[in-house]
Structure 1
Amino acid sequence: MHNNKKINCLLVDDEPPALEVLKKYIGAVASLELAGTSNNAVEALNFLSAKTIDLLFLDIEMPDLLGTDLIRTFKNPPKVIFTTAYRKYAIEGFELDAVDYLLKPISFERFLKAVNKVMETNFKESDSAEMNAENPVPHNFITVRADRKNLKIALDDILYIESLKDYIKIVTLSKNIITKQSISSLEETLPNDKFLRIHRSFIVAINKVESFTNDTIEIARHELPISRMYRHEVEKLLNV
């Protein structure tokens, strides 16, 4: 059974007319609930620190802090739909695992298409959670869908995981496996004592790390970047 809980939304835009349009659209969709609005990213950051939000409608070009930079401040950000007048941020937006990227002026039809993506994702996550509750996954392997099969991958065989937009590549001791899944959703299923996020596009197996610097980690002759966002956690765990 799917969860019928409403999706809490926060609107962030420095243009009042744009906020009013999105408020009207949210009010017309029964599954959405407006938790608040903000006209700048810093104010939104304070709001998100105090309340749990399911979905963020986020403008990009705003005073003080870009919307894309706001998302980078979170280790586990809420689902985000970027709303902007500029196409130039599209690639960056999707690299940040955005659900969708809406160009202003935003039509109601296009808004609904983006919201439906969120609802489909929520249903899949709900189904997955119910299956895991009934059939708990042992801590020594994960299961992914690839090549029209469910593949069991031993955690001890994983070297690292790389994000490829809507897909991820799991690099193991013997082969590479590509599956349609976000790196953030897989991260939630991995044990924290065995795996470490070092970049928005990379998770590494801690015991497979061969060498490291302040900026890179080497695993099986692969040199992987450490981003500023995750550097503190990497230094803390690896004692750089």
Structure 2
Amino acid sequence: MICLIIDDEPLARQEMQAMISIIPEIHIAGTFSNAPAAMDFLQNNKVDLIFLDIEMPLVSGLEFAAQIPKEILTIFTTAYSQYAAKSYELDAIDYLLKPIGKDRLEKAIRKAKLYKSMLSNDTEKNQVEGTTDNFLLIKADRKFHRVNFEDILYIEGLKDYVVIYTKRQKLITAMNLRTIHQRIPHQLFLRVSKSYLVNQSHIDSFDHHTIYIGDTEIPLGEVYKKEFFQVYSAGSVNPDNV
């Protein structure tokens, strides 16, 4: 993947460049201190992914993200949490809060690589063909596959696709998160952020910000936090005390 780093803070650009440079299969094509300079670069150069600060002079990161071609993926890198909801309206792949750790950065890049592979013509575009009270019917490889709801750990939304994580496999399906949520049991699957549905029967633990399913950490969004605690704990846990 070819990427850019856009941040008005020199030290932040240097730190991102150092961390990204050691990650395989990703090449930094340029670093920029402002969005207009990056936009000039995009006129004549191919880019797959942009690491984008938000509060910058001239043009903000949010304004810039709204102007770039949709096929360019965006990961916001910022010290401010209040722009998260807006970032997902712009179909950002991820939202990283500074200081950014190596593991968190690598997770965001894996997500970007996964979405890029979904757009490839070589990737099988699975379809949900039907639902019952107990399972999804997914068409893939010219076959119909039964996916029991009880086997689904969580579902991740990536723009116009969802990734269904089960105990045994990972299924990429051409459907957005809102649509698949309408077709599966709400009493079992909880919307916990803009990007995730979780099967509450597989939740191992949680705190005020994160849900843990096995080794996977799933963010608990502010908008969904109250409903999560009400449904999952049947009102027995006060989120302000967690």
> TM-score of the superposition, structure 1-length normalised?
0.54
Structure 1 unaligned residues grouped into runs of 5+ = 1-6, 133-141, 152-164, 169-177, 184-240
Amino acid corresponding to residue 175 of structure 2 in structure 1:
K
Which residue in 2 is equivalent to 1:49? 43
1:109 aligns with 2:97: no
Q: Map 1:37-116 onto structure 2 (within 5 A).
A: 37-116=31-110
Q: Map 1:75-224 onto structure 2 (within 5 A).
A: 75-126=69-120, 129-130=121-122, 144-145=127-128, 147=131, 148-150=136-138, 166=158, 180-181=175-176
Which residue in 1 is equivalent to 2:194? none
Which residue in 1 is equivalent to 2:185? none
Spell out structure 1 runs of 4+ moving beyond 2 A. Answer: 74-77, 122-126, 142-151, 165-168, 178-183
CA distance in 2, matches of 1:144, 1:75: 26
Cα shift at 1:144: 3.6
Cα shift at 1:49: 1.4
**3-state secondary structure, aligned to 1:56:** strand
CA distance in 1, matches of 2:6, 2:98: 14
Cα shift at 1:27: 1.1
CA distance in 2, matches of 1:63, 1:167: 28
Over residues 61-97 of structure 1, what are the superposed CA-to-partner deviations in whole Å (9 max), with x where a residue is unaligned?
A: 1001111111111342500100000001000001111
**3-state secondary structure, aligned to 2:70:** coil
CA distance in 2, matches of 1:112, 1:106: 10
Amino acid corresponding to residue 51 of structure 2 in structure 1:
F
Count matched residues. 145
CA distance in 2, matches of 1:167, 1:73: 17
CA distance in 2, matches of 1:113, 1:143: 24
Aligned residues with identical type, % of pairs: 35
Cα shift at 1:130: 2.0
Over residues 14-69 of structure 1, what are the superposed CA-to-partner deviations in whole Å (9 max), with x where a residue is unaligned?
A: 00011011100111112111100100011111111121101100001100111111
Structure 2 unaligned residues grouped into runs of 5+ = 140-156, 161-172, 179-242
> Does the aligned pair in 2 maintain the 1:166–1:180 contact within 8 Å?
no
CA distance in 2, matches of 1:86, 1:18: 14
Change (3 A) 1:68 1:182: farther
CA distance in 1, matches of 2:55, 2:113: 27
**3-state secondary structure, aligned to 1:123:** helix
> TM-score of the superposition, structure 2-length normalised?
0.54
CA distance in 1, matches of 2:118, 2:69: 22
